[in-house]
Structure 1
């Protein structure tokens, strides 16, 4: 499932392509025909993201709410006045102007909603590290009062919005935290360090268009941003994610895996013993 940096990247790209325009809105697949008709002919005001939810505000208090789920994809292509590209695959929603076309395929959710609906969704979500001034205290309260494992809590979008399985595995490893430790046993200093780290890592992932957690890649990305240069995506490498039965990069122990909160958790039993 796409993690928070992907949705924020989509919001950024949708704004660049469609903000201030009045796109033709259709549903080539037909499943979103009524919703598309409601949005067609309305000006796009702003796209934004909160965690794994994407919102596109149109004029007259109409909002598009999208959740990509496991297989969803929202592609944005430069058209530049050329012929309308043919529809490929099952396109739930298409936004079309003379300059751009955006096709949404396979979302878990695609709906036209009210401002009150948007407020209700965001109120239920935890703080998003990619939004301005995320409230770390709210996240800490929900962690520190819970008997659930920290591995479960990090996947709970009401605790922190936008963290998915990759960031979960990598963040816990980077801080040597036992993934099965209950939230109430996590030390405040440990949580604060993890929070600062995820607030650093996710913007790098947004800039690169891919999750970066390897120390060398993280440092290169930081240097590029500091210099005002683009962050160039590189080889997809991880500390523990999808490395089951491979040696830990630090101690050489075998990386373990187990399904936790519906996804395969990866961790090192020797390195990750910290509270």
Structure 2
């Protein structure tokens, strides 16, 4: 499942490519045909990401009732969650060439003036009204990549929990957007073992954790990939690092700091990696 930096990068790119335009929306697969019909031809105002969720805000519209009753409000916010299998495919128009034929089961196709995107296999693809949007956002913890994030909310949830910090970081109601790689790598950088209970995390450790997640995930947005390693350690800029060089302990056999073996076990449904020598 993509981690939060991926969705923030998509939101940024799609804002630049599609916001302010009247877009053609369709559902080649057919499973989102009604929603696509409601959105097509309308102007997209903005795109935002919250954790691993992305929201497309269209200019509000009301459906007129053929019976003469008051018009029925419909959702004007498209909510997408990729889940394990969701994938965006971006297209750029070359001259007058037609858009490519849909590949696979395309749930959603959005076409703008000079770009288009297809969405395959999302976990969620639905329309929300303002109240539904608010409920969806309120279920999530603070997102380190958002200016409105409240770290105190995450701290309170961690401070009062006996659950391991490794499991808490995978709980999107604690901190939204963090996935398995950021969990493993950030805890290793800070010397915190994933098994340590949340209520044993010190305030200064939480502050360091929050700040490190902001730093690393912003790097992820900029480069559109997770990069943990320090360029000074690798001897090359982040843009030139290979996939193996970008990470420090995730799926690695030995610790880059002490040379000891990396432990691996399942926590919160995913395999976590840690160094028992360097992390307490």
TM-score, reference length from structure 2: 0.90
Q: Deviations over 1:49-80 (max 9, x none)?
A: 00000000011160100000011111222115
Q: 1:262 aligns with which of 260, 263, 269?
A: 269
Q: Deviations over 1:240-261 (max 9, x none)?
A: 1112xx1211112111111100
Give the number of the structure whose alpha-carbon radius of gyration is greater: 2
Deviation at 1:217, TM superposition (A): 6.9
Deviation at 1:133, TM superposition (A): 3.9
Task: Report what 2:203 is aligned to.
Answer: 188
CA distance in 2, matches of 1:217, 1:3: 25
Task: Report what 2:250 is aligned to.
Answer: 241
Task: Report what 1:250 is aligned to.
Answer: 257
Task: Report what 2:117 is aligned to.
Answer: 102
Q: Deviations over 1:115-168 (max 9, x none)?
A: 111111111111111111421111110100001000000011111110000000
Deviation at 1:211, TM superposition (A): 0.7
Tell me if the contact between 1:204 and 1:218 (Cα under 8 Å) persists in the aligned partners.
no
CA distance in 2, matches of 1:151, 1:56: 31
Gaps of 5+ in 1: 225-230
Tell me if the contact between 2:3 and 2:178 (Cα under 8 Å) persists in the aligned partners.
yes
CA distance in 2, matches of 1:86, 1:232: 32
Tell me if the contact between 1:209 and 1:233 (Cα under 8 Å) persists in the aligned partners.
no
CA distance in 1, matches of 2:232, 2:12: 23
Task: Report what 1:59 is aligned to.
Answer: 59
Deviation at 1:204, TM superposition (A): 0.8
Task: Report what 1:6 is aligned to.
Answer: 6
Q: Deviations over 1:176-209 (max 9, x none)?
A: 1011011001111111111111111111110001
1:165-180 equivalent positions in 2, closer than 5 A: 165-180=180-195
CA distance in 1, matches of 2:234, 2:226: 13
Task: Give aligned pairs, total.
Answer: 263
Q: Deviations over 1:11-58 (max 9, x none)?
A: 111111110111111000111111111111111010000000000001
Tell me if the contact between 2:91 and 2:99 (Cα under 8 Å) persists in the aligned partners.
no
Q: Secondary structure at the match of 2:16?
A: helix
Q: Secondary structure at the match of 1:55?
A: strand
Tell me if the contact between 2:47 and 2:55 (Cα under 8 Å) persists in the aligned partners.
yes
Tell me if the contact between 2:43 and 2:59 (Cα under 8 Å) persists in the aligned partners.
yes
Structure 1 ranges of 4+ moved more than 4 A? 217-221
* Corresponding position: 1:28 with 2:28: yes
The Cα RMSD (Å) is 1.8
Task: Report what 2:46 is aligned to.
Answer: 46
* Corresponding position: 1:131 with 2:146: yes
Task: Report what 1:198 is aligned to.
Answer: 213
Deviation at 1:218, TM superposition (A): 9.4
Gaps of 5+ in 2: 61-74
Task: Report what 1:227 is aligned to.
Answer: none
Q: Secondary structure at the match of 1:257?
A: strand
